Amino acid sequence: MYKILIIEDDNTISSIIEDRLIKWGYLPKKITEFHNVLSDYSNFQPQLILLDINLPFYDGFYWCAKIRELSNVPIIFISSRDGDGDKIRAISQGGDDYIEKPFSMDLLIAKIQAILRRTYAYTDKDLHILQYKDLLLHMDRQLVIYREKEMELTRNEFRILSVLIQNQGNVVSRTRLIKALWDDESFVDDNTLTVNVNRLRKKLVALGLEDYIKTIKGEGYRLL
């Protein structure tokens, strides 16, 4: 579940955004104290930020610059300012997109989905890495990395995790996973899959990822 930080001082707008994000399966958090936005950012650790420009104490440009000193987290500016100067400044200071008020919630959701896909769902072809949230899977070394910790995987564990990551939290059937493990030299049955999933789970727990692979009864598995 992607965490999205809403930095918007209009409570009506922020509440509407919050409600829609929840319906789409995201985990939103509204800023309520605007004098120390960095504290809320650090505590929440969002995967994306929605940032207004006109804010109490300091404007959105200020907070964007401060956040960029700490992180490359995607930032979408949402503002009633429609001048090219503000849009150029927002992007040049580290914003990833800009949407004008009033805006369609469907458009906002589409922009959020597009940025999250680009940022977290695709393979880095240069580094040969798959990413899901804070978890990295090194494709060449069969190595899973989470918050400075590393763990080597067996071939089967690696194949299971790579398929789950590529599906980004969607359910993957047991049949599909069995096909991913099967090759010309071995035959993988249902019990073999269960054993390998359990071994993979134990390794993820050792990295600090408790209950990271969820069993969907009668369907398959998905990542939380």
Share of the chain above pLDDT 90, in %: 49
Express each pLDDT in 32-76 by its tens digit. 889 889 988 988 989 999 999 999 989 999 999 999 988 889 999
**Residues β-bridged to residue 104:** none
8 A C-beta contact, residue 42 and residue 18 = no
CATH of domain 129-223: 1.10.10.10
Domain boundaries 3-121, CATH class: alpha beta
Express each pLDDT in 173-190 by its tens digit. 999 898 888 764 456 778
8 A C-beta contact, residue 105 and residue 17 = yes
Distance CA 119, CA 92 (A): 18
Express each pLDDT in 85-102 by its tens digit. 888 999 988 999 999 988
Question: Does residue 122 surpass a pLDDT of 60?
Answer: no
Express each pLDDT in 139-161 by its tens digit. 777 888 887 688 999 999 999 99
For the chain, the domains span 3-121, 129-223
pTM of the predicted protein model: 0.55
| 45: three-class secondary structure by DSSP | coil
